[in-house]
C-alpha cells in the first residue's frame, strides 16, 4: 500500500490524495474516498460476481469488522482457507479492518474494562481482548487494520475519558507486539472524546509510534456537530501530513477515507 497526500485545498484543511492498493489495479484510488461496509466480508447488497460492475478501483475499498467472525468460522479454519480475501472470493479488493461498524458491532463503553473492549453484537454483548482481536487479524490478513480502542460517548466524566485514551494507547502497543508483521499494516487508533486536550494527547502519542496511518474514532457517540470540527482539527494538527487518515462516524475536511455510517441501510 502506498499513500500520497497531494494537493491541499487553499484556505481549508481538505486534501486530495492517491491510494495505491496494488494487485491488478495500477490506477490509484483517489481520496477522499468511502469504504463499502461489509457483513462478514461481503457487501450486504451485492454478491461478488456483481462487484465488478461497480466503478473500479474506487469500489475496491471495503471495510471489514473482525467482530463479525467471533462465532464462526474458527480462526484456525480461516487460516487454512487462506485468509479473508480467499474466503470471500475477493482477491483484488482492499480490506481495511476495524472492530466497530454501524450495524452489528457497536461499541459498548459500559462493558469495556482494562481487559478488553465491549461490543453489542447480534449474539449479545461480547468482550474482546487484544489477544483475541489480533488472532482474528492474523487469520483474516486484511490489507490494513486498526488497533483496538476504548471509544466512549461524549458525556462520560473527564476521568473516564482520560482512561479511554490511556487504554487505547496501551492496546495499540499490545496489538503491534502481537502482530507477526510487527505492525506493518497498522492504523493507530485515536480517541479522546469531547476533550480537545485528550484528543491532542492521544494523537501525538499515536503519531510517535511507527504506524502506516491513523484511524480517527470516537465520533458519532453523542458529541454535537458543532464540536466536531474543533475536535477533529485538534487531532489532524498533531498528525504527520504524509500518512493516511481514516475516520469513522462522520465526514469532515482533513481526512482521506471515510467509513460511512449508513451505507448499508441506504443500500438496503
Partner 1 sequence: MVISIIYLSMFFNLFLGTIKGLTNIQLEEIGCQLILGNTYHLALRPGAELIDELGGLHKFMNWKRALLTDSGGFQMVSLLHLADITEQGVTFQSPVDGKPMLLTPEESIQIQNKIGADIIMALDDVVKTTITGPRIEEAMYRTLRWIDRCISETVGTYNWAAHKRPDVQNLFGIVQGGLDPVLRDICVRGLVDRDLPGYIKQYMLKENIREPTILMNILVIMSSMKANLTSYWDSYAIGGLVGGEDKDSFWRVVAQCTASLPEDKPRYVMGVGYPLDIVVCSALGADMYDCVYPTRTARFGTALVPEGILKLKNRAMANDERPIDLTCSCMVCKNYTRAYLHGLVTKDAMGSQLLSYHNLSYMMRLSKNLHTSIVEGRFPEFVRGFLQTQFPRGDVPEWVCNAMEVAGVDISSCCTPLASWHD
Q: Report the interface residues with partner 1, using CB under 8 A.
A: 39-40, 42, 44, 47-50, 69, 71-74, 76-77, 80-81, 87-89, 122
Q: What span, in angstroms and rounded, lies between the C-alpha atoms of 206 and 220?
A: 21
CB nearer to partner 1: pick between 84 and 172: 84
CB nearer to partner 1: pick between 88 and 252: 88
Sheet holding 124-128, edge to edge: 106-107, 117-121, 124-128
CB nearer to partner 1: pick between 82 and 240: 82
* CB 67 to partner 1: min, Å: 13
CB nearer to partner 1: pick between 27 and 81: 81
* CB 196 to partner 1: min, Å: 40
183 Ramachandran zone, left/alpha/beta (phi>0; psi -120 to 50): left
Grid coordinates representing 33 are 474516498
* CB 264 to partner 1: min, Å: 11
CB nearer to partner 1: pick between 6 and 81: 81
Task: Give φ, ψ of 98 to 5 degrees.
Answer: -150, 155
3-class SS of residue 249: coil
* CB 43 to partner 1: min, Å: 8
* CB 80 to partner 1: min, Å: 6
Task: Give φ, ψ of 259 to 5 degrees.
Answer: -95, 110
Cell 469532515 appears where? 252
Q: What span, in angstroms and rounded, lies between the C-alpha atoms of 231 and 228?
A: 5
* CB 239 to partner 1: min, Å: 36
CB nearer to partner 1: pick between 79 and 196: 79
Grid coordinates representing 144 are 490494513
Which residue from 150, 154, 152, 158 is spatially nearest to 222, judged by alpha carbons? 154
**Beta-ladder partners of 120:** 106, 125
Grid coordinates representing 224 are 454535537
Task: Give φ, ψ of 128 to 5 degrees.
Answer: -115, 120
Amino acid at each position: 500500500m502506498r499513500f500520497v497526500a497531494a494537493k491541499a485545498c487553499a484556505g481549508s484543511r481538505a486534501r486530495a490524495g492517491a491510494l495505491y492498493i496494488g494487485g491488478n489495479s495500477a490506477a490509484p484510488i483517489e481520496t477522499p474516498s468511502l469504504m463499502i461496509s461489509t457483513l462478514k466480508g461481503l457487501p450486504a447488497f451485492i454478491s461478488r460476481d456483481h462487484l465488478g460492475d461497480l466503478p473500479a478501483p474506487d469500489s475496491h475499498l471495503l471495510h471489514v469488522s473482525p467482530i463479525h467472525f467471533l462465532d464462526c468460522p474458527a480462526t484456525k479454519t480461516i487460516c487454512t482457507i487462506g485468509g479473508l480475501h480467499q474466503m470471500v472470493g475477493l482477491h483484488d479488493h482492499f480490506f481495511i479492518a476495524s472492530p466497530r461498524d454501524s450495524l452489528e458491532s457497536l461499541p459498548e463503553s459500559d462493558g469495556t474494562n482494562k481487559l478488553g473492549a465491549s461490543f453489542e453484537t447480534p449474539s449479545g454483548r461480547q468482550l474482546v481482548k487484544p489477544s483475541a482481536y489480533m488472532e482474528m487479524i492474523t487469520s483474516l490478513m486484511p490489507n490494513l487494520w486498526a488497533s483496538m480502542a476504548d471509544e466512549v460517548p461524549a458525556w462520560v466524566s473527564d476521568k473516564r475519558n482520560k482512561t479511554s485514551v490511556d487504554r487505547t494507547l496501551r492496546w495499540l502497543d499490545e496489538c503491534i507486539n502481537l502482530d507477526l508483521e510487527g505492525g506493518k499494516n497498522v492504523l493507530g487508533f485515536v480517541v479522546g472524546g469531547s476533550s480537545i486536550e485528550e484528543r491532542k494527547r492521544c494523537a501525538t502519542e499515536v503519531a510517535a509510534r511507527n504506524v502506516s496511518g491513523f484511524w480517527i474514532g470516537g465520533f458519532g457517540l453523542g458529541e454535537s456537530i458543532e464540536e466536531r470540527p474543533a475536535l477533529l482539527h485538534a487531532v489532524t494538527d498533531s498528525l504527520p501530513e504524509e500518512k493516511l487518515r481514516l475516520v469513522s462516524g462522520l465526514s469532515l475536511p482533513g481526512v482521506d477515507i471515510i467509513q460511512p455510517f449508513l451505507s448499508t441501510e441506504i443500500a438496503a
